[in-house]
C-alpha cells in the first residue's frame, strides 16, 4: 500500500504511515478451538492468529503539556475494574476470528455497567456486531444505503476486523443488542441491524506509544485515565504465533505477557493496571515494572482465569478505543449521516470549514428538531465551531439558507474520536427542507485539525465501498466551497434529530397593509414553531407606489395599491406569500380616546383625506372590527355608547382614487373604559 494517497486536488489525503501518523487501523484476527496441546511451547497452536492487518497510525497529539494526574487527584498505583463490579464474565470466541468484536463488546459492557445503565450480568452480542459489520443494512434515513464493508475471505467469522473501524460502524447505530437476540455463530435477521438496545454516544481514540520514557509516561497515564472514565479500553496486541514467541513472550505461571513484535494480530480489553507488577514476572524482561490487567476472549482456561498481565512496554499494543454508551431511549430519534463504511484511514486537514447537507425526512412528513451534531476528530485538544443553515435554496451552496445561530457554537474536545456535541437550543426542521451542518476544527497550535473522511479502499482481505454523491459533503478551501462528493468523499459529520407531531405553517405578519404616503412599516415571516429560520426574498410589484428592502421594510411612495411578495423555502420547495399594500393620506394627528358613559374619539382634520374609519377590539392584540366610517374629512370627533368594558380603538384616513379607497396608516391603539 502507498504511504500517502493524494486526491481532490491535493487537498484531501490519507494520513497513513509505517507506524504512527494519524489513526490506527489494525486488522486484528485471532481464534481458538484447535485440539489441546501437550506442552506450553506449543500453546500457540491452541490460539491460532492470522496475518491480515493494516499499518496503525495515530491521533495527532497536542503540542501542549498534558497533565499526568487524575482529574481531582493522583492516579492510583493499582486499579482493578473487576473489584468495582464493572466487568462482565470471561467469554470464549471459539474457532472464529472475532476477537475484535469481543474486545469491543467487553469495553462497551464495562461502560454500561460502570454508568449504572446495566447490571453486571449484562451479555451483549458479539455476533450481532460482527455479522452486521460485514453485512450492512440500509440505515433508517437511507443516506448510507450503498456503503459497504466487504470481507474478501468469504465468511465474516474468518475475516477479522478493526477496533477503530468497529467503532465507526457502531456510530451508524447498527448495534448493539443482547446475546439472547443474536446468539453467537447464528445468522441474525436483517431487521435486527438497527434494532438496538444500546447506542454509542461517544467514541474516544488514543495513541499507544512507548518508544521513549516520556512517551511511555504519557501513554500509560492517558490509558489509565480512560479506564477510570469509561470502565475499560479495547486495544490491539500481538499474540504469540510460534514456539519461539511463546517461550519469549509468555510466562504462564504469572499469566505475564510481553511482546517485542509490533505486528498486531489480536484484540483484548484493558480493565485495570498494577504499577508494582514486577518486570521479573515476564519471560523477556522489560526495563520497568508495571502491567495492564487484560481481559481476553480465550475462555477461563487461559492465563489467570481468562486474564493476563501485559507489560506497559509491550510495543505491539495499538489503537486503544473507549466508549460512552447509553440506552437507546436516551438518544435521539434520527441519525443523519453520509459516512456508512468503517474505513478509518482517511482524513482532511485542508478545510477552513467542512459542511454536510441533508434533507429532513425522518419524521414521515412532520417536522423535526435538530438537537446535536456528531464529528469525527482525529486530534487531541481541538476547538470546534458549529453553525447550522436551514432552508437551503441551492443544494450546491451550503450557505444558501439561514443561520440558526447568530454566531457559531463553540467548544473544546479533549480527546480524538467520534463525539456528539449537543446544541445550546434545538433547531426546527421543516419536513423536506435542506439543511447543512458546518464544522470548523482548530488544534492546540490554532492550525486546521484533521476531520475523518469516508472513502473507498480495498486491501487483500477487506473492501470499503463508500458511495458519495455531489451536494452532500463540502470543504471550504482558500475561501471557496468545494464539493467533496465529486471526488468520492464524504466527511464524517452527523446530525441528530427528534421527530415531532407538528407541521410548519408560515404566514406574513400582515396580508393587507394600509400605509400613509412617506410612512414605513415592517413585514415579517411568521411560523407556528420556534427556532425556525428562513431567508426571505422581498419584492414589490410596483416600487413607485410602495418599496420594500431586503429586511421587509415597506415604505409608501405615492398614492395607489400594490403587492409585496415574500419568497422563501418551505419543505424543500419555493413558496411565496403576498401582502396587499395601499398607500393613502398622511397619518392622523391629534388623535385621542376617552371613556366614561360613552366612547369619545377626537382628531385633527386631515387635509389630504376624504374620510376616516374607526376600529375597536376588546384586547389590544385582538381582532379589530370596524366601528364606523366617516365620509366627511371636516369632521373631527365621534361619540358612541357602548356596553360596559375596556375597549381598544384605532383609526385611519382614506381617499378615493379611480373608485378605489386608498387607506393611510392606522394610528396606535388607545384604551377607553366605558362605565
Q: Reply yes or no on whether the pLDDT at 397 is more than 60.
A: yes
Q: Find the radius of gyration of the CA atoms of the chain.
A: 34
Same domain, 203 and 99: yes
Shared domain for 259 and 158, answered yes or no, is yes
DSSP 122-160: --B-HHHHHHHHHS----SS-TTTT-EEEESSS-HHHH-
Average pLDDT, the chain: 89
**Three cell numbers at 15?**
494520513
CATH number of the structural domain spanning residue 627? 2.60.40.10
Average pLDDT over residues 353-382: 96
b/e map 454-481, b = 16+ CB within 10 Å = bbbbebebbbbbbbbeebbbbbbbeeeb
Do both 353 and 386 map to the same domain? Answer: yes
C-alpha distance across the termini of the chain, in Å: 93
Are residues 119 and 265 located together in one domain of the fold?
yes
**Separation of alpha carbons 143 and 466, rounded Å:** 11
Of 446, 480, 499, the domain-final residue? 499
Average pLDDT over residues 208-223: 95
Report strand pairing: 353-359 vs 346-348.
unpaired
Q: What is the pLDDT of residues 23-48, one digit of tens each?
A: 222 333 233 222 333 344 455 455 64
Do 213 and 272 reside in the same domain of the chain? yes
- 360: domain CATH number? 2.60.120
Q: Could you report the per-residue pLDDT of 307-351, keeping only the tens digit for each?
A: 999 999 999 999 999 999 999 999 999 999 999 999 988 888 889
| H/E element, 213 | helix 213-230
Q: Are residues 630 and 596 in the same domain?
A: yes
- How crowded is the C-beta side of 267, counted as CA atoms within 13 Å? 32
| Number of domains within the chain | 4
* CA pair distance 302, 89, nearest whole angstrom: 13
Q: Does residue 1 lie in a domain region?
A: no
125 and 150 inside one domain: yes
Judge if 283 and 359 occupy the same domain.
no
For residue 444, tell me if it sits in a domain: yes
What φ, ψ does residue 473 adopt, rounded to 5°?
-125, 140
Q: What is the pLDDT of residues 542-551, one digit of tens each?
A: 999 999 999 9
537: CATH: 2.60.40.1080
Strand-pair category, 318-327 with 560-570: unpaired
Task: Decide if 461 is inside a domain.
Answer: no
CB 16 within 8 A of CB 57: yes
Residues 479 and 537 in one domain: no
Would you say residue 151 has pLDDT above 60?
yes
Residue 388 located in a structural domain: yes
180 shares a domain with 232 = yes
Rounded distance, CA 402 to CA 445, Å?
31
Where among 532, 559, 584 does a domain terminate? Answer: 584
515 within a domain of the structure (yes/no): yes
CATH code of the domain containing 55: 3.90.70.10
Q: Which of 532, 561, 584 is the last residue of a domain?
A: 584
Closest CA to 355 of 457, 451, 431: 451
88 and 178 inside one domain: yes
Residue 347 burial (10 A CB sphere; 0-12, 13-18, 19+): buried
Asked whether residue 333 is domain-assigned, the answer is no
Would residue 608 count as lying in a domain? yes
This prediction has a pTM of 0.85
Tens-digit pLDDT profile for residues 96-134: 889 999 999 999 999 999 999 999 999 999 999 999 999
* pLDDT value for 460: 75
User: Is 67 part of any domain?
Assistant: no
Residues 355 and 316 in one domain: no
Residue 642: domain span: 592-674
Amino acid at each position: 500500500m502507498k504511504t500517502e494517497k493524494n486526491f481532490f486536488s491535493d487537498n484531501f489525503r490519507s494520513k497513513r504511515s509505517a507506524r504512527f501518523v494519524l489513526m490506527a487501523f489494525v486488522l486484528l484476527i485471532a481464534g481458538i478451538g484447535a485440539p489441546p496441546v501437550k506442552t506450553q511451547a506449543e500453546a500457540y497452536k491452541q490460539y491460532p492468529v492470522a496475518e491480515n492487518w493494516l499499518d496503525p497510525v495515530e491521533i495527532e497529539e497536542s503540542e501542549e503539556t498534558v497533565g499526568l494526574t487524575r482529574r481531582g487527584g493522583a492516579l492510583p498505583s493499582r486499579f482493578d475494574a473487576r473489584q468495582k463490579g464493572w466487568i462482565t464474565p470471561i467469554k470464549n470466541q471459539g474457532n472464529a476470528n472475532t476477537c475484535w468484536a469481543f474486545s469491543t463488546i467487553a469495553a462497551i459492557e464495562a461502560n454500561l455497567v460502570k454508568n449504572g445503565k446495566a447490571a453486571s450480568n449484562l451479555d451483549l452480542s458479539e455476533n450481532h456486531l460482527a455479522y452486521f459489520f460485514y453485512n450492512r443494512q440500509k440505515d433508517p434515513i437511507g443516506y448510507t444505503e450503498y456503503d459497504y464493508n466487504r470481507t474478501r475471505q468469504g465468511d465474516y467469522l474468518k475475516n477479522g476486523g478493526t477496533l477503530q473501524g468497529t467503532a465507526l460502524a457502531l456510530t451508524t447505530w447498527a448495534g448493539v443488542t443482547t446475546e439472547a437476540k443474536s446468539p453467537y455463530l447464528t445468522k441474525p435477521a436483517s431487521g435486527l441491524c438497527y434494532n438496538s438496545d444500546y447506542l454509542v454516544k461517544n467514541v474516544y481514540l488514543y495513541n499507544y506509544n512507548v518508544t521513549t520514557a516520556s512517551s511511555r509516561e504519557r501513554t500509560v497515564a492517558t490509558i489509565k485515565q480512560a479506564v477510570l472514565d469509561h470502565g475499560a479500553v479495547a486495544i490491539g496486541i500481538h499474540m504469540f504465533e510460534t514456539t519461539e514467541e511463546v517461550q519469549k513472550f509468555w510466562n504462564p505461571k504469572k499469566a505475564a505477557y510481553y511482546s517485542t513484535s509490533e505486528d498486531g494480530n489480536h484484540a483484548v480489553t484493558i480493565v485495570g493496571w498494577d504499577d508494582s507488577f514486577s518486570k521479573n514476572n515476564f519471560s523477556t524482561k522489560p526495563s520497568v515494572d508495571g502491567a495492564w490487567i487484560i481481559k481476553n476472549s480465550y475462555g477461563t482456561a487461559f492465563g489467570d482465569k481468562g486474564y493476563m498481565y501485559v507489560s506497559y512496554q509491550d510495543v505491539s499494543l495499538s489503537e486503544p478505543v473507549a466508549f460512552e454508551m447509553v440506552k437507546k431511549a436516551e438518544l435521539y430519534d434520527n441519525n443523519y449521516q453520509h459516512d456508512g463504511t468503517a474505513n478509518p484511514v482517511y482524513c482532511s486537514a485542508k478545510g477552513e470549514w467542512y459542511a454536510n447537507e441533508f434533507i429532513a425526512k425522518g419524521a414521515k412528513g412532520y417536522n423535526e428538531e435538530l438537537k446535536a451534531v456528531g464529528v469525527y476528530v482525529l486530534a487531541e485538544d481541538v476547538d470546534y465551531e458549529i453553525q447550522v443553515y436551514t432552508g437551503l435554496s441551492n443544494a450546491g451552496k451550503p450557505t444558501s439558507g439561514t443561520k440558526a445561530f447568530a454566531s457559531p457554537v463553540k467548544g473544546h474536545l479533549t480527546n480524538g474520536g467520534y463525539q456528539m456535541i449537543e446544541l445550546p437550543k434545538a433547531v426546527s426542521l421543516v419536513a423536506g427542507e435542506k439543511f447543512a451542518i458546518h464544522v470548523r476544527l482548530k488544534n492546540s497550535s490554532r492550525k486546521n485539525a484533521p476531520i475523518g473522511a469516508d472513502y473507498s479502499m480495498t486491501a487483500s482481505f477487506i473492501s470499503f465501498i463508500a458511495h458519495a454523491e455531489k451536494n452532500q459533503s463540502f470543504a471550504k478551501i482558500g475561501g471557496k466551497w468545494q464539493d467533496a462528493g465529486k471526488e468520492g468523499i464524504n466527511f464524517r459529520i452527523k446530525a441528530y434529530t427528534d421527530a415531532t407531531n407538528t407541521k410548519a405553517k408560515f404566514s406574513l405578519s400582515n396580508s393587507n397593509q394600509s400605509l400613509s404616503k412617506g410612512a414605513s412599516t415592517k413585514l415579517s415571516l411568521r411560523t407556528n414553531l420556534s427556532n425556525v429560520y428562513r431567508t426571505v426574498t422581498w419584492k414589490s410589484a410596483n416600487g413607485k407606489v410602495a418599496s420594500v428592502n431586503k429586511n421587509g421594510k415597506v415604505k409608501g411612495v405615492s398614492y395607489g395599491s400594490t403587492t409585496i411578495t415574500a419568497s422563501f423555502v418551505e419543505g424543500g420547495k419555493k413558496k411565496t406569500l403576498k401582502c396587499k399594500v395601499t398607500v393613502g393620506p398622511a397619518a392622523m394627528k391629534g388623535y385621542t380616546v376617552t371613556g366614561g358613559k360613552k366612547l369619545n374619539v377626537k382628531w385633527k382634520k386631515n387635509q389630504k383625506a376624504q374620510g376616516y374609519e374607526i376600529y375597536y377590539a376588546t384586547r389590544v392584540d385582538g381582532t379589530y372590527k370596524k366601528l364606523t366610517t366617516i365620509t366627511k374629512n371636516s369632521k373631527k370627533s365621534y361619540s358612541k355608547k357602548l356596553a360596559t368594558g375596556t375597549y381598544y380603538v384605532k383609526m385611519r384616513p382614506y381617499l378615493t382614487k379611480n373608485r378605489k379607497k386608498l387607506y393611510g396608516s392606522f394610528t396606535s391603539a388607545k384604551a377607553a373604559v366605558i362605565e
